Amino acid sequence: MKKFYIETFGCQMNVHDSEKVVGTLLARGYEQVEDTAEADLILYNTCSIRDKAEQKVFSRLTELKRHAKGKTFAVLGCVAQQEGERIFDRAPHVNLVCGSASYNQLPQLLARLESGERRVTGLSLDTDETFETPLTRRDNPHRAYITIIEGCNKSCAYCVVPFTRGPERSRTASSILEEAQQLAAAGYTEIQLLGQNVNSYVDPSNPSCDFASLLRQVACVKGIRRVRFTTSHPRDFGKSIVDAIDENPVLCNHVHLPVQSGSSSVLEAMRRLYTREEYLKRIEWLKRSPRNIAISTDIIVGFPGESEKDFEQTLRLLEEVEYDSIFSFKYSPRPNTPALSLDHQVPEEEKGRRLTILQEKQRGIQLRRNSELIGKVEEVLVEGFNQATGQWIGRTSQNKTLNFTTTSPGEGSLIGSYRLVRVTRAGPNSLVGESFN
């Protein structure tokens, strides 16, 4: 039996794509191994969002070059799509290069490799199909990803995604609901809907079914206790999404709404299609909700032309919104993107300085936000157990980690169950509590 090893870089879309690829390989009779030395086929599902991520795959390929004899190498995902056949020049031992828009063709591409072809590619972007497979092999037995929309139709000045994942393609609501029902029947209780921009979801078979309407339908699937979704683009984030969350507690009270910058002029240069004020309007909808909706965001510091004043506006925005968490990055110039040719690039050192200041400020805000939960009772889905501390690891609806002990120890594994936990302590990145049910 042929053995394969797969390593995944990048976002949840990539993690879920890998689950589909693993399912496809297992169905072809391959066996998964955890060590490259044992593998006949080595796959890297790659990310190219920042330069560092792209470099990782090339360093992996170089590390293994000496042991390449008899092995087949595959580069999948965003670096594959971006670099295409140039990957063969940089790493001649690679045999398969395939971008995510061509995964439908993976069985045929694998068959060609198995029959002795040395180099095969799947690089077409002009597809209107999505990659759906009943063979998906999910890693987590309780929380499942479902792709609802692939690709991206925006053109943010810094971003490679529109080039690496192609144009938007939505799945039909009926196939999404069918998958959710099957997952519920298999014991899954949490679903995470995925897309680069979930808000522009439209059912291709019924244009009146938008994202909010899909959310409402998924929340009604019997057996599903939690529904999350990511990522939302502020421009397409409508009030109807907040209304849906207000009405249905199955929809988790957490929204990830990437702002990128607090300065309207930087937002314009980034081609984000909204101003600081328009963004804050959406935040106001979220804050007015009777559910205590946690808000997280992505921020890029040091975009070309970002002045000290612009950066200060981002710092003020953090204070104003009081985010529950942020992902922050130094701007990384990327191939093919419009921002490459902009003047006034910010020096690396200055980007580093701004990132440190930003993260320091956010740490204080998170501690404050989390401290507000002390004394409150939260429902958690139990995800694991920490041997070192003797605590169970739970996740709240707000997507916060809540580590807890129980008053009746020795009752067997709680993993996968839902518990009520009283919060007793708060740190910037997690909460501590005690379960009493």
Q: In the complex, which residues of this chain contact ligand F3S (CB under 6 A)?
A: 152, 154-156, 159, 161-162, 196-197, 233
CA angle 214, 216, 221 (to 5 degrees): 95
Q: Which of 403, 400, 381, 401 is nearest to 392 (CA)?
A: 403
- With CB under 6 A as the contact rule, the residue among 260, 313, 325, 362 that binds ligand SAH is 260
Counting Cα atoms < 13 Å in the Cβ hemisphere of 245 gives 25
Figure out which of the listed residues 164, 261, 296, 313 binds ligand SF4, where binding follows CB under 6 A: 164
Q: Does 331 help bind ligand SAH (rule: CB under 6 A)?
A: yes
Structure tokens at 234: 């502020």
Place of tokens 């049910």: 437
Q: Contact between 49 and ligand SF4 (CB under 6 A)?
A: yes
Q: If binding is defined by CB under 6 A, does position 231 make contact with ligand SAH?
A: yes
Q: Quick check: 8 and 14 in contact, CB under 8 A?
A: yes
Cα separation, 107 vs 54, whole angstroms: 26
CA 322 to CA 372: how far, in whole Å? Answer: 12
Helices (H), 325-411: 348-371
Q: Does position 258 bind ligand SF4 by CB under 6 A? A: no
Decide if 308 contacts 339 (C-beta within 8 A).
Answer: no
Q: Which residues pair with 159 in a beta bridge?
A: none
Rounded CA-CA distance 437/434 in Å is 10
User: Where in 332-371 is the site for ligand SAH (CB under 6 A)?
Assistant: 332, 334
Chain centroid to CA 229: how far? 9
Residue 78 interacts with, from ligand SAH, ligand F3S, ligand SF4, none (CB under 5-8 Å by kind):
ligand SF4
Binding mask 8-37 for ligand SF4 (x = CB under 6 A): --xx-xx-----------------------
Name the CA radius of gyration of the chain, rounded.
Answer: 22
Q: What does 162 interact with, of ligand F3S, ligand SF4, ligand SAH, none (CB < 5 to 8 A by kind)?
A: ligand F3S
Cβ closer to ligand SF4: 232 or 253?
232
- According to the binding rule CB under 6 A, does residue 228 interact with ligand SAH? no
User: Taking CB within 5 to 8 Å according to partner kind, which of ligand SF4, ligand SAH, ligand F3S, none is near residue 164?
Assistant: ligand SF4
49 lies in the binding site for ligand SAH (CB under 6 A) = yes
Least distance in angstroms from the C-beta of 236 to ligand SAH: 10
Q: Give the SS3 label for residue 51.
A: helix
Q: Which residue is nearest to ligand SF4 (CB)?
A: 10
Span 125-164, contacts to ligand SAH by CB under 6 A:
158-159, 161
Query: 155 or 307: whose CB is closer to ligand F3S?
Result: 155
> 96 near 72, Cβ under 8 Å?
yes
Asked whether the beta carbons of 379 and 397 are under 8 A apart, the reply is yes
> Is residue 261 a contact point for ligand SF4 (CB under 6 A)?
no
Considering the complex, state which of residue 49 and residue 346 has its C-beta at the smaller distance from ligand SAH.
49
Q: Confirm or reject binding of residue 147 to ligand SF4 (CB under 6 A).
A: no
∠ Cα 110 116 120 (to 5°): 50
Q: Which residues bind ligand SAH (CB under 6 A)?
A: 49-50, 158-159, 161, 196-197, 231, 233, 258, 260, 298, 300, 329, 331-332, 334
Q: Which residues bind ligand SF4 (CB under 6 A)?
A: 10-11, 13-14, 47-49, 77-78, 160-161, 164-165
